[in-house]
Amino acid sequence: MIPRYTRKEMEEVWTDENKFKKYLELEIAVLEGWSKIGVIPYDIVEKVKEKAKINIERINEIEKITNHDVIAFIEQISETVGDEGKYIHLGLTSSDIIDTSFALILREAGNIILDDIKNLLEVLKKKAIQYKDILIIGRTHGIHAEPITLGFKIGTWYFEFLRNKERIERAINEISVGKISGAVGTFSNIEPEIEEYVCNKFNLKREKFSTQIISRDRYAYFITVLGIIACSCEKIALQFRLLQQTEISEVFEPFGKKQKGSSAMPHKRNPILCERICGLSRIIKKNVNVALENVALWHERDISHSSAERLILPESTILLDYILNLLTKIIDGMEINIENIEKNMKILNNVYFSQKLLNFLVLKGWSRKDAYEKIQKISFEAMKKKVDFCELIKKDDSIKKYIKEDELNKIFDIHQFLKNIEKIFKYIE
């Protein structure tokens, strides 16, 4: 992934240094396992630990000849170790090391994302409470519906990310699985006790029935969860973009004092950060399909998944880490325009009381059909003529027969929409 969208902490997870460090740790752990069952003297393990040094430049040189990165790694390490190097990779196949190291790397990446979500949750909770009493019009189909509060809107995001937190925790658990069972997974050249030792050492579960690889349904699950989280980020970013439209102008992403909105038009304040989130989330969602395609492989394995994973695993985790941190900054620095929020509440002249009036008339004995048609007619008149819906209702003789003015005043009390919001907010506070 290009540096523009890469944070240092996640970048370090996907370096060659970290990958080969994991390879070496696992190879040494396997030697320790062989030693524990009496096949290799422990002093050999100690010598390998002492002498083994990773040289990435040399690994790359060897790979140009072998066209096999794991063999290149083994040969380079063996060069630094000397005679004891012949025991490295004893009984193993490449996927034992590759897949088990992937478990360690993906767990590191997943825990960074988990921390990102925890930070985002703190900001969402803070903003939901801060704006819980700010009335704003709710919209369905892009059309004014009934009043909500800005804090309520943010509260829906908060609970979605609580679910995302649970999802990434399950996904981390799903991929925290090791495999040290040799070619085709039958332990034909290695003992199950060694796999048990290695997995216990690195706090991994064992893939009890592997083939030559760890089954890629685990990776597909992990990437799919990343895709869902990306969708949640895109959903919030899209809300900002909609609310920042000129005709609405209620909520804005942060804009730096010296920031420029357009190379051509100095007046522009574009929601570029949220647009960036929406764009990058598409890449993660695209990678979900690739991960699903990687599940079905030939027989006990082929290698068609490998090249794709070299792209989609670092790309998806790096991008999601970036997106989550950017979204956290956007929400923490969000700006609101109270004047426009209040203005937009009044655009349709209080027609949002229509359902409350409908329900009241039904309880007074009207048929739902008659009540609906009566209120719809008056609503459309209020919007077309730009007159107050409440006043038109109060003047309608057929409604006045059933509802007293003090009852209408109660119906038209906007705070009636919000009487139960405090009950909902207890789940946040």
Q: What is the pLDDT of residues 136-190, one digit of tens each?
A: 999 999 999 999 999 999 999 999 999 999 999 999 999 999 999 999 999 999 9
Q: Looking at residue 77, what is its pLDDT? A: 96
Topology of the domain comprising 348-425: Ribonucleotide Reductase Protein R1; domain 1 (1.10.40)
From the list 262, 304, 367, 398, the catalytic residue is 262
pLDDT for 207-239, tens place per residue?
A: 989 988 999 999 999 999 999 999 999 999 999
From the list 35, 78, 101, 141, the catalytic residue is 141
Q: Residue 256 pLDDT > 80, yes or no?
A: no
- Averaged pLDDT for residues 59-77: 95
DSSP-based three-state secondary structure for 404: coil
DSSP-based three-state secondary structure for 147: strand
Q: Residue 1 pLDDT > 70, yes or no?
A: no
- Averaged pLDDT for residues 265-292: 93
For the chain, the first-to-last Cα distance in angstroms comes to 39
Per-residue tokens: 2: 């290009």
Tokens 């357009």 belong to 262
Average pLDDT, rounded, for the chain: 94
Residue 141 designated active-site:
yes
In whole angstroms, what is the distance from residue 342 CA to residue 414 CA?
13
What does the angle CA 259 – CA 264 – CA 270 come to, to the nearest 5 degrees? 45
User: Under CATH, which number does the domain 1-90 receive?
Assistant: 1.10.275.10
DSSP 247: T
- Beta strands, E only, 127-223: 135-140, 143-149, 177-178, 205-206
**200 Cβ neighbours under 8 A, 6+ residues apart:** none
Question: Looking at domain 92-342, what is its CATH homologous superfamily?
Answer: Fumarase/aspartase (Central domain) (1.20.200.10)
Q: Looking at residue 135, what is its pLDDT? A: 94
Residue 262 designated active-site:
yes
- Averaged pLDDT for residues 248-254: 94
Task: Give the model's confidence band at 125: pLDDT under 50 very low, under 70 low, under 90 confident, else very high.
Answer: very high
Q: Residue 429 pLDDT > 70, yes or no?
A: no
pTM of the model: 0.94
Show me where the domains of the chain are located.
1-90, 92-342, 348-425
Q: Looking at residue 237, what is its pLDDT? A: 98
Per-residue tokens: 250: 């209620």
